């Protein structure tokens, strides 16, 4: 099988899984159902994706790539807004993104691949991207005199790491809505960084 055919097969599996997840929910879809609906054998599916968690990870990676493009567009078009507003908007959207697929998070948090990625969070491209964007905004705010005294590098690492999927899931299970979690996160960790206008 060529690489192009392999990519087409992988995409077919992902599209099938996405459709089934949307229709029945992640928990209620089996790997057997994904293989059958995609018209492939289970062995073929497991060679490509060893678990439902790995399918979810791959789908989330694509979603994060699209989200990063949206953030880039927002940052380019929002240059006139206060830096505090820009950073709050980005972090609010990050928390909402994690809330969108709560059921997926449950599956991913029990996946063996999560264990592989826990120790390398700071090396993941999405983390590096968000940390860099946050650091840039904080440095700019500091130059403008809008930021309380702090180390932008240290703070950017913590801000990028704090919206953890497992904590958001826990808060969601406690009864907080996605908007409440995003708002409280920003009130606690973003708004407090800036001097009053």
Q: Phi and psi at residue 147, in whole multiples of 5°?
A: -105, 140
- pLDDT tens, residue by residue, 52-70: 888 888 888 888 888 999 9
Closest CA to 18 of 4, 37, 1: 37
Q: Phi and psi at residue 194, in whole multiples of 5°?
A: -110, 145
pTM of the model: 0.75
Closest CA to 87 of 128, 138, 127, 125: 138
Q: Where in the chain is the domain with CATH 1.10.10.60?
A: 1-49
How far apart, in whole angstroms, are the C-alpha atoms of residue 127 and residue 160?
A: 6
CATH number of 1-49: 1.10.10.60
Fold category of 53-193 in CATH: Tetracycline Repressor; domain 2 (1.10.357)
Q: Where in the chain is the domain with CATH 1.10.357.10?
A: 53-193
- pLDDT tens, residue by residue, 9-54: 989 999 999 899 888 888 889 999 999 999 999 999 999 998 888 8
- pLDDT tens, residue by residue, 104-123: 666 655 555 444 444 466 77
């Amino acid at each position: 099988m060529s690489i192009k055919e392999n990519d087409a097969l992988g995409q077919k599996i992902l599209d099938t899984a996405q459709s089934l997840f949307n229709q029945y929910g992640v928990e209620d879809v089996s790997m057997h159902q994904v293989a059958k609906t995609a018209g492939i054998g289970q062995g073929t599916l497991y060679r490509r994706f060893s678990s439902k968690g790995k399918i979810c990870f791959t789908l989330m990676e694509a979603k994060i790539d699209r989200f990063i493009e949206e953030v880039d567009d927002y940052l380019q078009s929002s240059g006139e807004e206060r830096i505090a507003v820009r950073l709050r908007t980005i972090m609010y959207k990050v928390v909402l993104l994690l809330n969108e697929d709560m059921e997926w998070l449950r599956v991913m948090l029990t996946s063996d691949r999560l264990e592989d990625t826990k120790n390398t969070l700071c090396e993941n491209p999405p983390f590096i991207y968000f940390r860099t964007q946050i650091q840039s905004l904080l440095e700019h705010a500091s130059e403008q005199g809008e930021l309380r005294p702090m180390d932008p590098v240290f703070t950017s690492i913590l801000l990028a790491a704090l919206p953890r999927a497992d904590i958001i899931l826990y808060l969601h299970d406690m009864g907080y809505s996605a908007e409440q979690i995003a708002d409280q996160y920003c009130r606690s960790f973003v708004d407090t960084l800036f001097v009053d206008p």
